[in-house]
Amino acid sequence: MTDMSVASLQEFLDGAFPIDTPYVIEAVDDASIDVRLVVGPGHGRPGDTISGPSLMALVDTAAWLAILAQIGPVALAVTTSLHIDFLRKPELVDVIAHGELLKLGSRLAVVHVTIRSVAAEAVVASAQVTYSIPPR
């Protein structure tokens, strides 16, 4: 296993995509990660809330990074399943995803992700994500 730090994960994330990512990795350890979505005008939808696709992208990113924090920078690990429940309407402010590694096998990883708004303590979304890890 390879443990990546917050700084090395952030550097890998920022270099992995051709656009500026709106994600800030706040904490990582051997079983969990916290990732902030810096909410901007492009994340909103009618009703002054964050769009579902923005929350789903945050969930997927947090799960991917939780796995990479343990296995190293394997860019080709891919989502095979993502189930999300939208529980509350978040305000149009930053949200933080907390991902917990439930299983890390040689070929599959499962991560549970909860999202909270910085404006409230209540969980606004809960998800489970499964990733396929390519052979080494």
Domains and CATH numbers, the chain: 6-132 (3.10.129.10)
Global pTM value: 0.92
Distance separating alpha carbons of residues 42 and 52, to the nearest angstrom: 12
Along the 136 residues of the chain, how does pLDDT read in single tens digits?
457 899 999 898 888 877 788 999 999 999 999 999 999 888 989 888 999 999 999 999 999 999 999 999 887 889 999 999 999 999 999 999 999 999 999 999 999 999 999 999 899 999 999 999 998 7
Q: Could you tell me if residue 125 is left (phi over 0), alpha (psi between -120 and 50 degrees) or otherwise beta? A: beta
